[in-house]
Amino acid sequence: MNISAIHDQLWLRRRHGSHGLRLRGAQQDQPAHHCAFGSGFGQSGPLSHKGGQDILAQALTGVMARKPDQSLPTSVYATALADYSAGMHLVQGILLALMQRDKTGVGQSLSVSLYDSMLAMQMQEAAMWLQRKRELNWGAFPLTGVFETTDGAVVIVGAFKANPLQDICRALGLPDLSADPNYATFAKQVENKAELHRLFRSRLSTDTTAHWLAKLEEQDLLCAPVQTLGEALASEQTAANNMVVSLAANGDGPQRAAALGRLADHHGCLGVPAAPCAAYFERARHGDPGRIGLCAGPYRCVAHGQGAVMTIRFVVKGHVARVTIDRPDRMNAIDEASEAELMRIWSVIEQDEQVRCIVLTGAGERAFCTGADMKQSGNKTGLEYWAAARPGGFGGLALRETLDVPVIARVNGHALGGGMEMVLGCDIVVAADNASFGLPEPRVGRLALDGGIAILPRRIPHVWAMGMLLTGRRVPAAEALGFGLVNEVVPQAGLDEAVDRWIAGILACAPLSVKAVKQMVRHGARLSPQEAQRLRLPALVAALQSTDQDEGVKAFVEKRAPLWQGR
């Protein structure tokens, strides 16, 4: 097939929210052209007028109605399943049409809808229903389920073994339930699934995810941790599969995207450039979701058109997001591409309810962050730099008002300029004894306008703040501790241990209570104590009517550690 000879023409139709490709009359004018039409529910029939929306397709095709347990409420599947599958089916159809045209020289007409794709995905289930009028539901099998642990959840699939129930019981340290008449056969396991799962839940809730995965895998059972998207993107398997790539997008610098596949004899990959999150949501509000890639790491980007390497490492594990500015050769100074990536990371974290704590640090032992990378800032004047949009202050963090997750600054070295401004945007500061803090902008004719001048006089006594702002001098960690800028100063070798203590303290608290504390402190900062006390913020209400507040009191009475659910 000579791909370079393909000159297919597509006409885009968007009507009442319907997304599709409209090609009419093309084959009369150009018989070798293909006509590809993508719609929500087809070109005819009683639903053809409806907008092509993913959730509607899920609801109308039986996908939404299928649940692992019928006692659960019917809900929306949060990933755009129909959009993706219909797009892949459309691509497959186009490829088949191209192969056929190579043989006949004649173009093809093809049509794909979200509705058709959702039904096609259920081929096994549909065959069982059409031939035997029986429901096939893999998720409802009695030895399959998702079970919470002390720090997350595991999924177990008890199948493809001679006696999977016996193996599950061995892994969990339970008596052999397969010898119990109530569970001896598959039919009995289905009948008594609720009690069976109650026994599993009770046992799995006593230890960590890692502990139970090791036990389950010893018995060669199918099992996996339930990961957040951030954890999946940062996993070793994702890196081994090269699934997160760096692409240039419209000259706006490096963007992150998920790779769709790689060619064995080519270094490139199939992917889509990522649009900035804010722009994506703006388009979504106006009915045009556009294109957006995945913007978490760890990853390496090359700034478009500059050749300047920027690295931000982002890992989520055990409810803790760790963000590392990895430019030690530049004293972890931040260029425009780095700052854009940081802003996207904060946006990702804000949408991930599983993240309960953030640790921000710099690579190496010399610098936390030394602010803007002046060698790569081009010829911008101070006024031009100040005029550039910088939501949330320096690094998207110094003045950010939407991040309700506690942020710990792990200050491993110099925190200067914008680096100190990011420290001021953190909630807890743990510094190595070789760290220093300063706002030296006046010494190069600039100003600390991205959080430094605004926050520092509110954080420490006026004369101490002015002493730093008017001289640009660096303050050693011990002195910063005396100012109240730092919570703790430790030797460099003990920095991680100290940070981990603070993390443990945060994770010991109910996540909704912690979120409410941040919201109340932020909103009450400019109010009198009486006015602040009267605040009725959404996070406060959510915390006080959560199941966690019941669990906290119950755990206290029972003299045990609470098991927080974040709801």
pLDDT tens, per residue, the chain with 567 residues: 333 333 333 333 333 333 333 444 444 555 566 677 788 888 788 888 887 888 898 888 888 888 887 778 888 888 888 888 888 888 888 888 888 777 777 777 778 889 988 898 888 888 888 888 888 887 888 999 999 999 999 999 998 888 999 999 999 999 999 999 999 998 899 999 999 999 999 999 999 999 999 999 999 999 999 998 888 888 888 877 777 766 555 545 445 555 555 544 443 333 333 334 444 334 333 333 332 233 333 223 333 333 334 478 999 988 999 999 999 999 999 988 888 889 989 989 988 888 999 999 999 999 999 998 877 765 667 676 666 667 788 898 988 988 999 999 999 999 999 999 999 999 999 999 999 999 998 888 888 888 888 889 999 999 999 999 999 999 999 999 998 999 999 999 999 999 999 999 999 999 998 998 988 888 777 788 888 777 777 777 777 788 888 888 888 998 988 888 888
Buried b or exposed e, range 485-514, using 16+ CB within 10 angstroms: bbbbbbeeeebeebbeebbeebbebbbbbb
Strand ranges inside 228-344, DSSP E:
244-248, 254-262, 269-271, 299-302, 309-317, 320-325
Contact partners, residue 557, CB within 8 Å, separation at least 6: none
CA distances from 358 to 166, 355, 410, 498, 505 (A): 41, 8, 10, 15, 13
- Upstream peptide bond of 298 is cis (omega within 30 degrees of 0): yes
- In angstroms, the CA 52 to CA 115 distance is 9
DSSP 179-229: GSTTTSSHHHHHHTHHHHHHHHHHHHTTS-HHHHHHHHHHTT-EEEE---H
CA distances from 491 to 181, 358, 495 (A): 62, 21, 6
Structure tokens at 46: 């009683």
Structure tokens at 235: 């996993």
pLDDT at residue 38, rounded to an integer: 81
Is there a contact between 251 and 336 (Cβ–Cβ < 8 Å)?
Answer: no
Q: Does 141-226 match 290-507 in CATH topology?
A: no
State the CATH class of domain 290-507.
alpha beta
Maximum Cα–Cα distance for the chain, whole Å? 85
pLDDT at residue 307, rounded to an integer: 38
pLDDT at residue 248, rounded to an integer: 54
pLDDT tens string 173-223: 999 999 999 999 988 999 999 999 999 999 999 999 999 999 999 999 999
- In angstroms, the CA 107 to CA 87 distance is 20
Is there a contact between 244 and 299 (Cβ–Cβ < 8 Å)?
Answer: yes
CA distances from 279 to 5, 276, 356, 388 (A): 35, 5, 26, 17
Provide the annotated active-site residues: 421, 441
Superfamily name and number for 141-226: formyl-coa transferase, domain 3 (3.30.1540.10)
Which one is the CATH code of 3-132: 3.90.330.10, 3.40.50.300, 3.30.460.10, 3.40.50.10540?
Answer: 3.40.50.10540
pLDDT at residue 36, rounded to an integer: 76
> Given CA atoms 54, 55, 60, 66 in this order, what sign does their dihedral have?
positive
CA distances from 5 to 1, 22, 32, 110 (A): 9, 22, 11, 20
pTM of the predicted model, to two decimals? 0.48
Where along the chain do its domains lie?
A: 3-132, 141-226, 290-507, 511-558
pLDDT at residue 126, rounded to an integer: 87
Helices in 508-558 by DSSP H: which ranges? 511-524, 529-533, 538-544, 547-558
pLDDT tens string 11-26: 333 333 333 334 444 4
- In angstroms, the CA 497 to CA 169 distance is 37
